[in-house]
Every structure is written in C-alpha cells, then in structure tokens.
C-alpha cells in the first residue's frame, strides 16, 4: 500500500514572527518541518511497513529550501512531490486541499496521512477538505491508527471521549500530536535522503486551475489583546454575593 504523508515547511517557531506589507506571513527566513507533521510521517511509515508498501511526501510550498523535506525523507519516506507555483502565494485552505489532492492522484497513494493543523495556519480544515476533494472517507483527530485487512481503524479524540471508527481504503487520516513517538533519523537515513527524488510541479503540470474569484486578501493584522487583570474582591461580608453575581453573569448558575 502506498501512503502519502502531507508535510509543510513552516517558519522557524523560535524566530520572531514577521509579516509582509500585504499582511501575509513572511517566509523568507529559516524554515523547518512542522513538528506536528513528524507524527503524520511516523504513522504513514508504520502503515506502509504493516502493508509492505511505501511512503511518499506531498507538500505545497516554496521549493527553495529542501532541508525540511530532507528531514522527513531521512525518517524513511522514499520520495517527495512538491507543488510550487508563484500563483499559490496566500492560498486558502480549500485551494491547498485541491492542490494536495492533485498530488495524491499523481502519486497513486491509497491512504493520506496529515497532521490535524499546521503551526502557521491553524485552520484544522485541510484534512476534511482534502477527503472531500478526493471523494474518500475522512478519519480525523486520530490518537491511534492500525490497519485491519482493507480497513483503517482509529481511536478518534472528541470532546466527549474517545471513539473507535473505521473506514475502507482509500481514506484520509489526520493524527494528533503525541499519537506515536516519531523515529529519529539515522545517519544512514540522512545520507540516503540526499539521493531520494524530490519532484517539483507547477499548477499547470498538476492540471489545477485556480478560481480567481476565490482569492482572498488580508485586510488587517494586529496583536491579540493582552489578558486584562481580574477583579479583586476584598471580603467585607459581600464576597459570596459577588461570586454568585459573577457566575450568574456567565450563565453558569
């Protein structure tokens, strides 16, 4: 079984966040593999090992710095497909899903594994949108993944607890951070990663036509307001009533 792991180079989280004049994130500095993607790559490798298959990486990014992809290839993936086109600057989540869908079709993958969200976007919607684009089932927020015959079985985290759900192959899976322990790249893997193929493709080569009417602009970027100081109550016999009034205002009582 061929598994495609979606990965994303993101600005180094240890560096200050910078924005361009148009409000978009400045990506000209050092980029690294999104930490959340290491869990997705590990799950993809385990699925491939269980089925005797292989792993291909898929990403939509500027291809100028190959280091993040080489880090994922060093874990054991065999090749990488990169969608890189100047027209993709500032692409929204749905456009990203459409482009990744084209990479999946080109790769011939039967299962796609993603993180739940990226460190620079935080939409948390791409996995479900990608499944819709492909017409495949979506198994999201998986904390454990296993392969049983021709079905993928996951433990899915929810607000009310954990659910066990399954879907036939092909399908899209998003995994949570901590779902597995990502393997460390060995020296052999690092050396091998340098010779593994990285194929860069434009929108035209992928057959993706952008809908110009769906392009969005960033109107404003501002710092989030700081946390305001809480109200201090000196108990002079009215503290209990003040607390009750506070909870009542929050509709807790």
Q: What is the pLDDT of residues 113-129, one digit of tens each?
A: 999 999 888 888 999 99
Does the residue 154 lie in any domain? yes
Tell me if 225 is assigned to some domain: no
Q: Is residue 84 part of a domain?
A: yes
C-alpha–C-alpha distance, residues 23 and 19, integer Å? 6
Instruction: Confirm if 185 and 178 have CB atoms less than 8 A apart.
Output: no
Question: Among residues of the chain, what percentage have pLDDT more than 70?
Answer: 98
Specify if 85 maps to a domain.
yes
CA angle 38/194/103 to nearest 5° reads 55
Specify the range with the lowest mean pLDDT, choosing from 52-61, 203-212, 219-228: 219-228
CATH number at residue 42: 3.40.50.620
96 part of a folded domain: yes
Q: How confident is the model at residue 182 (pLDDT cuts 50, 70, 90)?
A: very high
Please check whether residue 234 lies inside any domain of the structure: no
**Residue 77, token pair as written in the block:** 């993936």
Q: Which domain holds residue 128?
A: 2-214
pLDDT in the model for residue 13: 84
Mean pLDDT of 5-11: 93
CA-to-CA distance for 102 and 66, rounded, in angstroms? Answer: 21
* CB-based contact 51:248 (threshold 8 Å): no
Rounded distance between C-alpha atoms, residue 116 and residue 252, angstroms: 31
Positive or negative: CA dihedral 63, 69, 71, 74: negative
Mean pLDDT for 146-166 is: 91
Asked if the model's pLDDT at residue 216 lies above 60, the reply is: yes
Domain count, the chain: 1
More confident residue, 222 or 4: 4
pTM of the predicted structure, to 2 decimals: 0.84
Say whether pLDDT at 68 is over 80.
yes
């Amino acid at each position: 079984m061929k598994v495609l792991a979606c990965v994303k180079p993101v600005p180094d989280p240890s560096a200050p966040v910078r924005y361009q004049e148009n409000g978009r994130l400045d990506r000209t500095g050092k980029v690294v593999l999104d930490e959340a993607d290491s869990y997705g790559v590990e799950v993809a490798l385990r699925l491939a090992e269980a089925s005797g298959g292989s792993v291909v990486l898929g990403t939509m990014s500027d291809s100028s710095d190959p280091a993040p992809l080489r880090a994922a290839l060093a874990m054991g993936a065999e090749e990488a497909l990169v969608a890189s086109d100047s027209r993709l600057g500032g692409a929204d989540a749905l456009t990203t899903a459409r482009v990744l869908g084209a990479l999946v079709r080109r790769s011939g993958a039967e299962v796609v594994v993603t993180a739940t969200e990226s460190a620079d976007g935080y939409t948390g919607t791409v996995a479900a949108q990608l499944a819709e684009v492909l017409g495949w089932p979506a198994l999201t927020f998986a904390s454990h993944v296993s392969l049983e015959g021709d079905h993928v079985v996951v433990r899915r985290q929810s607000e009310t607890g954990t659910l066990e759900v399954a879907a036939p192959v092909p399908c899209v899976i998003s995994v949570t951070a901590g779902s597995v322990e990502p393997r460390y790249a060995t020296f052999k893997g690092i050396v091998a990663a340098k010779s593994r193929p990285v194929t860069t493709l434009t929108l035209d080569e992928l057959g993706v036509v952008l809908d110009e009417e769906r392009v969005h602009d960033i109107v404003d970027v501002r710092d989030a307001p700081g946390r305001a100081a809480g109200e201090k109550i000196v108990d002079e016999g009215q503290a209990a009533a003040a607390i009750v009034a506070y909870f009542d205002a929050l509709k807790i009582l």
